[in-house]
Chains A and B, each alone.
Chain A
């Protein structure tokens, strides 16, 4: 199973054209009365549900991100799939949190200063969670740079901010806005349960020693045509590096 390479451009080429065309249509259409009615309805919908979607997608991102490192139950293609889900959910989470902020500010429910100034009140908690989430998102986008520049620990510690952003976001969701209904509280509890389960799995796995696999392990070795094979060729450059786990792979520069 192939997945998207981190060297691929961030957006496919068609995305830009589609976005530009759609933006043109939306810009023109929003001036017309039906478009205005539609925009009003969308604003109302987003002001109610963008936050909910943010919570759901962020929970999904956290859970799949944790699970993608699980090595006991999941095969490699499962983990690749989870990485894909993790990326998709993260993109959606950032989208929805931006929509949430924008709609709340435009609706006059939050002041524009709330976007940048965190605090300990319910809205300020949301700001804090948003900023932590931004850190996580930026490190996620720049993962290739961090991971390949021999500083994976920097990336790891920065990306671990997700473990902080998520509970803060949960606290924000429970305290700000309307008083949560019972099913909303149930949803929060389910989200917390899912993340707790995933983290427990991760902890259990991380205590288990890692089996190091080398590329071509299962293949029959090629016949030695050169008896004078060099040491440099036989030596594995980095014992931790595998196909699925390229950390530590030396890159020429």
Chain B
């Protein structure tokens, strides 16, 4: 590496030379202060003024005096000096170290012991000035009056520096401080190389990973959220890498998304197949529908949804699950479904670019919530999520329930239709879509308590990024007859509504939604919604009383709210074109 060239000599180098000089000859006087090394090298080897030349003062000396050791020379008597007071003589020069590259010195070039603000080669030797300090000499003999002073040698821009690597070998770093510095340097280089790898991966996979919903500060800002992503204001962001679109004909790296899909299908059938068979009343024949919502840039982490399609003769809600997967070179894809033990571990280790910490928390809560916790969250035993019925508060829709085979639940497939057909979110939560290859699909909202609500058979499903935050009352889609996850065809456009936790469906028994409490009776297989004395059977009309109605069946001023139902009913008749 090139040495840095500079005009000044740093203190430690000069000082170091002073040290070396001192230890080389401790009896020598120190010349450490204010001397540059090369200046010391150029120190005049001045001979004492011979007495024979005392009278010769007319012409300047033109020849450089040859080097003679002043100590070997006979000393003139100080009293014989013609000057009234003895002038200081330059001291004995510091012993010179062998110079690697001897400098060509002009014969004129002699240096006086003078302040170094005057460069040595600016002052030619003048015997008349011997013993006087340089400014005095200049004053005594101005330039104009100096006889035939020749041109000074061209001023060098850079004084000749001592060649590199002049330091004694003891200067090699060996102290603990140097080891620390080296260690820091090594660590820095390693971090830099790691950053290089990170940057390279990012560039290879197409620019910075923008567009997660965690741009900006998460922590404190999070509390002022949830910020709703309205479909009107939030155009669909760049779709996460979809296996079928994104990978096209690209040369497949080892983490293969098709292999991931196969693996998730197998796991889904293993872990959810039995539950699906019981729910559907028959074994599904189709393969599970796997959607890889997100995949990391290096294709080693993936998150998505899987669903077992419903046979055509069953009206049950599809059996759905989230999956998280990781690819390792040794064992390939490792995937876990929500509700199983490995899911939470994979979620928390997932890259933050793929899944923000709070989303991972919400999903983990959803995956691990027990049946009791879910029931308590929805039946008022605990402060739940404040769920309402999935349409505009104040409007009245019809409630239906298709009886399913082999299902002990009369409200196992609860459907609603009516109003303007706009299905709204039952509560705040994060939105995910299943079987969403065609853009629609089953919508699942994961609420803060971990409970989720599902909305099926909708058309015009809102196009937001999976995992976006949705507020209560925001539109999710319109009642429809779509069956992306299979199922029996519906006789009218409706929305199939359900409660869900990570591992299983949550029964409607005791659930309080929009001021109503849902009941399921087994003795006569019967499901209904009740509020106070009013009971609405399936097929009846249900007004969404919202949160203001308070808990269902409560006394107090809200007790007569159900009496308003006829009024709502009339309005419904007015505004519902489908009825």
Contacts and interface: CB of A to CB of B under 8 A. Distances in A.
Are A and B bound to each other? yes
Interface of A: 1-7, 9, 11-13, 15-16, 18-19, 22-23, 26-27, 29-31, 33-40, 42-44, 46-48, 80-81, 83-85, 87-89, 91-92, 94-96, 98-99, 102-103, 105-112, 121-123, 144, 148-149, 175-180, 215-216, 219, 222-223, 225-226, 228-233, 236-238, 241, 243, 246, 249-253
A97 to B, nearest CB: 11
A199 to B, nearest CB: 23
B33 A107 contact: no
A177 B180 contact: no
A40 B297 contact: yes
B174 interface: yes
Nearest to B356: A109
Given A27-B196, A228-B78, A88 B217 contact: no
Given A36-B201, A251-B8, A96 B191 contact: yes
Given A23-B196, A81-B176, A107 B171 contact: no
Given A40-B351, A109-B214, A228-B86, A34 B11 contact: no
Contacts of B113: 230, 232
Contacts of A246: 11-12, 15
B577 interface: no
Contact of A5 (B35, B171, B220): B171
Interface of B: 1-4, 7-16, 18, 22, 26-30, 32-36, 39, 78, 86, 88-92, 113, 116, 167, 170-171, 173-178, 180-185, 187-202, 204, 208-212, 214-222, 253-255, 296-301, 327-329, 349, 351-353, 357
B501 to A, nearest CB: 26
A95 B177 CA distance: 19
Contacts of B254: 33
B33 A43 contact: no
Contacts of B171: 2, 5
B36 A251 contact: yes
B192 A19 contact: yes
B298 A144 contact: no
Contact of B184 (A33, A87, A105, A175): A87
B181 A84 contact: yes
Contacts of B28: 222
Contacts of A107: 208-209, 351-353
Nearest to A2: B175
Contacts of A6: 10, 12
A39 B198 contact: yes
Contacts of B188: 91-92, 94-95
What 4 A-B pairs are tightest by C-beta distance, nearest first? A84-B177, A230-B88, A88-B184, A36-B298
Contacts of B78: 228
Given A33-B255, A43-B351, A88-B184, A1 B197 contact: no
A249 B9 CA distance: 11
A148 to B, nearest CB: 6
Contact of B197 (A38, A121, A144, A223): A38
Given A176-B220, A252-B39, 4 more contacts: A9-B2, A29-B197, A102-B198, A238-B34
Nearest to B223: A179
Nearest to A43: B198
22 contacts: A1-B175, A3-B178, A5-B171, A7-B10, A11-B1, A12-B182, A22-B190, A43-B201, A91-B185, A108-B208, A176-B218, A177-B217, A215-B32, A219-B26, A222-B26, A226-B92, A230-B88, A232-B88, A237-B34, A249-B11, A252-B35, A252-B116
A96 B194 CA distance: 12
B237 to A, nearest CB: 11
Contacts of B116: 252
B178 A178 contact: no
Contacts of B182: 12
Nearest to A6: B10
Identify which of B116, B195, B199 gathers the most chain A CB atoms within 10 Å of its CB.
Answer: B195
B215 A111 contact: yes
Identify which of A84, A98, A176 gathers the most chain B CB atoms within 10 Å of its CB.
Answer: A84
Contacts of A229: 29, 88, 91
Given A12-B185, A36-B300, A253-B8, A177 B208 contact: no
B229 to A, nearest CB: 16
A39 B253 CA distance: 15
Identify which of A15, A19, A109, A179 gathers the most chain B CB atoms within 10 Å of its CB.
Answer: A109
Contacts of B27: 222-223, 225
Contact of B177 (A15, A83, A252): A83
